[in-house]
Amino acid sequence: MFIENTTSSLFRKGCIEVVCGSMFSGKTEELIRRLKRARIARLKVEIVKPIIDIRYHKDNVVSHDATEIKAIPVKDSKEIFEKVGQVDVLGIDEAQFFDKGLPKVCEKLARKGIRIIIAGLDMDYNGKPFGPMPALMARAEYVTKVHAICMRCGDLASHSYRKEKKKNLVLLGGKDNYEALCRNCFNSSVKK
């Protein structure tokens, strides 16, 4: 059987990809890179982000090194269905800030033949699994863990250490609030 158009939704297979790691590891840069490549392939691409993420821009997804892409801010995972039209590829940034319904939403979209690319912190500032990220990684066909460089010793960093002692789980910030640390530096900092 000859298939003339392999991007047709009839023949396209959906999948879930997760890019995870600590702060400053390049998660958002990798998400943007993959979405730009999908656009080069003439695929219809959309990206969503949680409405609370206004650190660098109200509407755009922006990496720490100022790479950016237009996004649709949404209040919760259900709103993704309402705001995103017919797409081939859907990017989701800062997935850790979404509700526990995000994995089911991604599963439904992947079943429709959509490629979902998700970026988010795998651990919170306490070193614990963060939000829906563990469930997303379990459902994903592809998981990429990216690493920052430890800001104290130069080793590979996998932890986001919060400099401020505020107890609330969500504290949006950048280098003023967080440091990327390796396991050893993180553990010695937490003991203090």
Tell me the two tokens of residue 181: 């640390």
- Which residue in 100, 108, 111, 122 sits closest to 23, CA to CA? 122
Alpha-carbon dihedral sign for residues 132, 55, 117, 4: positive
CB 13 within 8 A of CB 51: no
**79 is annotated as an active-site residue:** no
**Residue appearing with tokens 């958002």:** 28
* Active-site residue identified among 17, 46, 94, 179: 94
Coil, strand or helix: which one is 131?
coil
Which residues carry out catalysis? Answer: 94
